[in-house]
Amino acid sequence: YEDRIHDRNNEPTIFGRRHDLALELGVTRVINRESLIQLDLGWTSTGGFLENPYKAVMLGFDDPDQYVDESGLRYVPLKGVLEQRPNRRRQLSVDIRFAQHIRVTDAALHAEYRFYHDNWGINAHSVALSLDQPLGRGWSITPGARYYTQSRAFFYQPWFLFSQPYPAHPGGPLDLSQIPLAYFSSDARLSGYGALSETFTLRKQFASGLALE
């Protein structure tokens, strides 16, 4: 990171530049008096310094030629380094929303599906349902649920173990050029996971335009 470290108020500070270009297109179709559907497309291109300087990655080095005694214990040196991400990210998202008025109870049912894909290997799906139910006199309740799942980025692992000696410059620090990976991160937001969440909102609307939830 020597080429990115500059002095700021007498403190060595990492500087980096990034740029973002985002495009969005949305179309809403009224089906009838009680229902409508909406389609949103999004595309984002980001380039430059995309690392989080506060995110550390643990690297381990297991020398296959090291001496091992009868105990079988091996010495694996560990080193914490800053993550390395690709300098380009392209993201695509598709959102489909549907709203249906329920005449019997004067409620509104909302359903949403979202698909996300990027060139880091992440594919994500989310499904959300909610029901807005008026109770009268400005009161309403909104129960809902959302499920989300995503695959991991191709350069994500909780930690990284290499079958090689500790790669260091002669008498100096770790030599990243000897690591067989160009990109690595342990940011949990780049991992594969799923989440199910439930929500319940109680809302009071006042005549003055004030609302409490």
Token pair belonging to 20? 């973002």
In whole angstroms, give the CA distance from residue 137 to residue 204: 8
CA 185 centroid distance within chain: 12
pTM of the model: 0.85
In whole angstroms, give the CA distance from residue 202 to residue 141: 5
Token pair belonging to 67? 């001496």
In whole angstroms, give the CA distance from residue 18 to residue 13: 16
User: Residue 83: what residue type?
Assistant: E
In whole angstroms, give the CA distance from residue 213 to residue 202: 6
Per-residue pLDDT of the chain (213 residues), as tens digits, is 777 888 989 998 888 899 999 999 999 999 999 999 999 999 999 999 999 988 899 999 999 999 998 999 999 999 999 999 999 999 999 999 999 999 999 999 999 999 999 999 999 999 999 999 999 999 999 999 999 999 999 999 999 999 999 998 766 788 989 999 999 999 999 999 999 999 999 999 998 889 999
